[in-house]
């Protein structure tokens, strides 16, 4: 896709323009994304005032993944569910914060799309005023037109089936980055607070093919296997010819780390480790974190791997399954994958 839409158009116009090129478009998808954008604006407003009002701190509840739930996570989750359940385009939802499928109440009409989301990513950074985000992923259900309860098997689809994916980043500005896949490219919009509109600010984002930045929680070094250690040692080693050592950047909010690497180039990794025997395959969730960012990075010319193959090819078996993640600049991720597969020794 060539750049042609011009900087400054609204996200709504952009979605409409993209849908116009699709003969099957019914407007359902546009409605869906528009409502999600409204939810994100509400979350953005609350995030911005998080330091001002008494919304900080733990609710004392533990989420389905045994992590501390911050109040803003609960709020963001509720807002998305409430706003999205009534629009008539979804057959169900999946949230990082809910153990099971979120059904659409029977009083609302249903549609053929499934929305998966991480309502607030990077929640440990909420109370320190560091960037956080919302990640989303949209699929079409396998059997359309049915009003019945959605079986889990319809939702457990590989990432390559996503019809759209992206994220909202609540940073120094609020941004939305999204793709509808199939070569439509990745586009970024910045929220102009005084207008209340997302305007096109980053058209057709391309990630540099190779970079000099790595992002990883290196505090886990001693829990890694030898291949992972060798890979990170390689990034840190001195070698003028290949531009090493790389620079290290780690925010601790996946969305923020990913976004920086998307624009500037770099590799983010959250490998598996032996820190927690209950999480042998790493920390990040396939369906609500890895898959959507994998589609975005692919559309931007990058690559996402679990260390064995493409993230987008993984056939999920559980809603909340976790995966190792290597994502970012293509050449760097390909090298990481070759090392993890034992094809390349560093
Ligand atoms: P969430 O806030 O949705 O639970 O996600 C947190 C994730 C992700 O944002 C980040 O990359 C990672 O956790 C950081 O983990 P560590 O603190 O173990 O580095
Ligand atoms: Mn997350
Ligand atoms: Mn979260």
The pLDDT value given to residue 276: 85
**Count of beta carbons in the 10 Å neighbourhood of residue 142:** 16
Q: Tokens 């001693």 map to which residue?
A: 222
User: How many domains are contained in the chain?
Assistant: 2
Inside any domain, residue 129:
yes
Q: Are residues 193 and 220 in the same domain?
A: no
β-bridge partners, 62: 68
Choose the final residue of a domain: 172, 202, 232.
202
The reply to whether 91 falls in a domain is yes
Q: What CATH number has the domain bearing residue 70?
A: 3.30.540.10
The CATH number assigned to the domain holding 309 equals 3.40.190.80
Q: Is residue 4 one of the residues assigned to a domain?
A: no
Distance separating alpha carbons of residues 190 and 40, to the nearest angstrom: 12
Domain annotation covers residue 50? yes
The answer to whether residue 178 sits within a structural domain is yes
Distance 120 CA to ligand 2 centre (A): 6
Domain with 182, as residue range(s), is 11-202
Report which of 32, 229, 220 is spatially closest to residue 136, judged by C-alpha positions: 32
Q: Within this chain, do residues 298 and 198 fall inside the same structural domain, yes or no?
A: no
Asked whether the beta carbons of 263 and 213 are under 8 A apart, the reply is: no
Whether 340 and 308 have beta carbons less than 8 Å apart is answered as: yes
What is the rounded CA–CA span in Å between residue 332 and residue 265?
10
Give me the residues near ligand 3 (ion), CB cutoff below 5 Å. Answer: 96, 118, 120-121
Q: Is residue 207 part of a domain?
A: no
pLDDT at 70: 60
pLDDT, position 52: 64
Inter-residue contact 200 to 192 (CB < 8 Å): no
Strands 187-192 and 174-179: antiparallel
Inter-residue contact 75 to 118 (CB < 8 Å): no
- Give the C-alpha separation, 8 to 11, whole Å: 9
Q: pLDDT at position 229, please? A: 98
Closest CA to 219 of 281, 275, 261, 257: 275
Same domain for 94 and 132, yes or no, is yes
Ligand 1 shell residues, CB under 6 Å? 67, 96, 118, 121-123, 217, 252-254, 283
Residues 229, 164, single domain; the answer is no
**Class of residue 49 by CB neighbours under 10 A (exposed 0-12, middle 13-18, buried 19+):** exposed
Each residue's pLDDT expressed in tens, for the chain with a length of 346 residues: 555 555 579 999 999 988 887 776 778 889 999 999 999 999 999 898 876 655 555 555 666 766 655 688 999 999 999 999 999 999 999 999 999 999 999 999 999 999 999 999 998 898 888 999 999 999 999 886 666 688 899 999 999 999 999 999 999 999 999 999 999 999 999 999 999 999 999 999 999 999 999 999 999 999 999 999 999 999 999 999 989 999 999 999 999 999 999 999 999 999 999 998 877 889 999 999 999 999 999 999 999 999 999 999 999 999 999 999 999 999 999 999 999 999 999 8
Domain boundary among 202, 225, 240: 202
Domain boundary among 202, 221, 244: 202
């Amino acid at each position: 896709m060539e750049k042609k839409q011009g900087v400054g158009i609204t996200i709504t116009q952009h979605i409409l323009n993209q849908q116009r090129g699709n003969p099957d478009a019914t407007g359902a998808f546009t409605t869906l994304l528009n409502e999600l954008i409204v939810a994100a604006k509400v979350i953005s407003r609350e995030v911005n005032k998080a330091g001002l009002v008494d919304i900080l701190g733990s609710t004392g509840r533990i989420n389905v993944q045994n992590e501390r739930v911050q109040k803003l996570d609960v709020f963001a989750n509720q807002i998305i569910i409430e706003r999205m359940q009534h629009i008539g385009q979804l057959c169900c939802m999946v949230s990082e914060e809910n153990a099971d499928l979120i059904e659409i109440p029977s009083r609302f009409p249903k549609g053929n799309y499934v929305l998966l989301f991480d309502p607030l990513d990077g929640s440990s950074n909420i109370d320190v005023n560091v960037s956080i985000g919302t990640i989303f992923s949209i699929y079409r259900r396998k059997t359309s037109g049915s009003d019945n309860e959605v079986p889990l098997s319809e939702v457990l689809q590989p990432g390559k089936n996503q019809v759209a994916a992206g994220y909202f980043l609540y940073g120094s500005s609020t941004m939305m980055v999204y793709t509808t896949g199939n070569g439509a490219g990745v586009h970024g919009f910045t929220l102009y607070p005084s207008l209340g509109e997302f305007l096109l600010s980053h058209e057709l984002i391309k990630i540099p093919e190779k970079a000099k930045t790595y992002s990883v929680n290196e505090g886990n070094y001693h829990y890694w296997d030898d291949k992972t250690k060798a890979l990170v040692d390689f990034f840190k080693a001195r070698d003028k010819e290949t531009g090493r050592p790389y620079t290290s950047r780690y925010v601790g909010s996946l969305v923020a780390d990913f976004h920086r690497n998307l624009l500037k180039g770099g590799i983010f990794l959250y490998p598996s480790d032996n820190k927690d025997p209950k999480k042998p395959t790493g920390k990040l969730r396939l369906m609500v974190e890895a898959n959507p960012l994998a589609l975005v990075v692919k559309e931007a010319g990058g690559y996402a791997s679990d260390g064995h193959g493409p993230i987008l090819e993984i056939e999920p078996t559980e809603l909340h399954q976790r995966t190792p993640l290597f994502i970012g600049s293509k050449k760097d991720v390909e090298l990481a994958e070759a090392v993890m597969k034992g094809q390349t020794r560093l």
